[in-house]
Amino acid sequence: MALTEVSNPLTDTVLDRDDRPSIRAIEGHVVASEARAPQLAGTRAGWPMRLAYLAGDVLAIAAAIAVCSLTANLARGFAWSAVPLVEVKLFALLTLGLVAVAATGRTYAPIPPRPVRQFRGWVLGSLAVCGSLMAVAWLLGGASPVACLALAVATVLAIVLASFNRAVCRMRFGRSFWWGTRIIVVGGDALATEVLANLQREPQWGLRPVGYVRESAPYDGAAAPEGCLGAINRLHDVAAELNVDRALVTAASFDSDELAELLACARGQIQHWIILPSLERFPSMWLEECEAARLPALAVSNRLASEPSRRIKRTFDVFVTLCCGLLALPLLAAIALVVRITSAGPVFYGQERIGYRGRRFKAWKFRTMVENADEVLAKCLAENPALAQEWYDNQKLKRDPRVTWIGRWMRVVSLDELPQIWNVLIGDMSLVGPRPIVTNEIEKYADRYDYYVQVLPGITGLWQVSGRNNTTYAERVDLDAYYVLNWSVWLDLYILASTVKVVVLGEGAY
């Protein structure tokens, strides 16, 4: 289920089954005019991408071991002496074990899992390997406490460095022509082209579509649509010509009998099939395949419906907020002083927002605007229709005349939201969750508002790490719904780690 980890807004257009010819009905047909030659990206089995991940992991593990080995020697008082043989053996086994964990977690597969699921397996598997090695070393009495400590620290450091390397690989090489695994999309014109466009927009995840074959008969004399490679009966020939052995089938385009025919249609050239089901509003990140009544099935869990899960999230929020809040006190005091000195008005700004189950609360920020901000905004929107439309669409302005110069800088690095740690402590907000909205935004959420009020709004969230202000409002709403449907502690940890990168780089901030 390689694609069940991805939110699937791809099934809004479903062709009427009675209007679609069966696969048998289009046997022998060819496209009326030649399809445009596809621009190939990726490779048949994705080996360059897989080797890049492997090389990055080995380098990360080696760097972690080198740092910890040197530190252990410093602790013993002989920095440049040879590492004891026992430690060499432990570190060698650790390297093999961590690479095995990554391999069994499909990190080096032709289509790797999405980062959150990959991160969970990587952390749990790595800690299990480390714990096993430490237990064996202790039972055999062959390692000192310093060596065991170095092993534990090396494991944690390897987890962090390898995760960072993988993200860098996706950012640096994700759009390179050699990155990823080739795949053919199979489905109706409207649905297949939408899937094709979504895959082409995010090549870093490893799926590189070469085009699509359609399930409908060709139009006489019509030019082939963009990306169309022909009719389904040509799937074998197209796959052989383009050196592809994987296909992604949009399940909404076919019934079960047609799918069975399709699996036989490629005559062995297509060896791996991905079925994209019509499950737009289902949790997708933690779907598990299973079998029921001798038929393929999917197991779905609502993690937020579990009271223990909610308690874990709340405990995590309070613990992290207290630790980070105490460390941030000097920074909070410095920012407050700068805000007070540079512009007239209060240091803090509170605005009513909508929280869990629709309860209103006041969200706090450092003031980033002039004192009469509402009057300035009203005058600006009245005089400039284009800005008024931008405000209506996004509830934000790229060039907001209300923002002070220090406020603009704070927004870029997201320091204006630091006072919201108080909202987290008193239970109005969470560290991670949907972006807190105001009353006039409810209508924009429409039926997705029911998802929004199921959780506490967050200081950071999927929107903040997925482009922030560079996304449309509709995409923001979809991201909030996706977070609620797919929540887990691992998703929160991934978002927090990604927030650090976004803040440092200032991505999508204004």
The mean pLDDT of 275-285, rounded to a whole number, is 80
Using CA atoms, how far apart are residues 216 and 25, in angstroms rounded to an integer?
9
What was the pLDDT predicted at 162? 94
- Tell me which residue of 452, 453, 410, 389 sits closest to 463, measured CA to CA: 452
Per-position b or e across 262-286, b if 16+ CB within 10 A of its CB: beebbeebbeeebbbbebeeebbbb
For the stretch 110-148, pLDDT in tens is 999 988 999 999 999 999 999 999 998 888 876 778 888
User: Higher model confidence: residue 408 or residue 206?
Assistant: 206
What was the pLDDT predicted at 39? 65
- Tell me which residue of 20, 15, 151, 164 sits closest to 88, measured CA to CA: 151
Using CA atoms, how far apart are residues 60 and 167, in angstroms rounded to an integer?
13
Using CA atoms, how far apart are residues 73 and 314, in angstroms rounded to an integer?
41
- Tell me which residue of 201, 224, 197 sits closest to 213, measured CA to CA: 224
- Contact of 432 with 495, CB cutoff 8 Å: yes
One-letter amino acid for residue 360 of the chain:
R
What was the pLDDT predicted at 507? 63
For the stretch 307-341, pLDDT in tens is 888 899 999 999 999 998 888 899 999 999 999 88
- Contact of 280 with 12, CB cutoff 8 Å: yes
Q: Which residues pair with 353 in a beta bridge?
A: 361
Q: Dmax over Cα atoms in the chain, in whole Å?
A: 83
16, pLDDT greater than 60: no
Using CA atoms, how far apart are residues 20 and 253, in angstroms rounded to an integer?
9
For the stretch 62-120, pLDDT in tens is 999 998 888 877 776 665 566 677 778 888 999 999 999 999 999 999 999 988 999 99
> Would you call 395 helix, strand, or coil by DSSP?
coil
- Contact of 339 with 415, CB cutoff 8 Å: no
What was the pLDDT predicted at 303? 79
- Tell me which residue of 318, 314, 282, 312 sits closest to 297, measured CA to CA: 282
